[in-house]
Amino acid sequence: MDIILRPWQTNELYQLVRLINNHNIVQFMSNQIPHPYTEEDGKVFLNKTTNQNPTQAFAITADSEVVGSIGIFPQTDIYEKNAEIGYWLGEEYWGRGIITEAIRQIVEYGFNTFDITRIFARPFSNNKASQRALKKAGFTHEATIKNGVYKNSTHFDSVIYAMQRGK
């Protein structure tokens, strides 16, 4: 399977909304991603991401078909040498190694594009698949934050995984 990250295109609204409008995906994401996810939400996202320079949010494609999204977000202030990654994959594509490869590619892009020394991710502790993908991509577990996330009236632990430049 040929996994490629590329900038989102404004004509991919239907595919974006179809894939992400899924409780099984959104349950592990910040509240910035609403559910249900509407066409208007998708238009806002696409308008924002298609104007980024350098690109921070990418469509994940598998054999030329959009299957998800991944982004890298440089931090500011005292965290300026860090970037956070976030990602999601359409449910029908889970378990195929796609997200692990996308993480590897975004890490390479991030270290080559931004003046950063560390890339991190903060999955929910109950999102075991995301944690496995990060480990397979070479990330190290750094911390568990007890009750660090509050979503849908429930507290969850969050975990921090990171990779240092050159390691």
Average pLDDT, consecutive stretches of 10 residues, N- to C-terminus, the chain (167 residues): 95 96 94 95 95 95 97 98 98 97 98 98 95 98 96 94 90
Fold held by 3-118: Aminopeptidase (3.40.630)
pLDDT of residue 123: 96
pLDDT of residue 110: 98
Instruction: Give the global pTM.
Output: 0.95
pLDDT of residue 51: 87
Q: Who's near 100: CB < 8 A, 6+ residues apart? A: 133, 136, 137
pLDDT of residue 164: 97
- Residue in 64, 85, 65 with CA at minimum distance from that of residue 19: 65
d(CA 140, CA 44): 34
d(CA 83, CA 76): 9
What residues does each domain of the chain span?
3-118
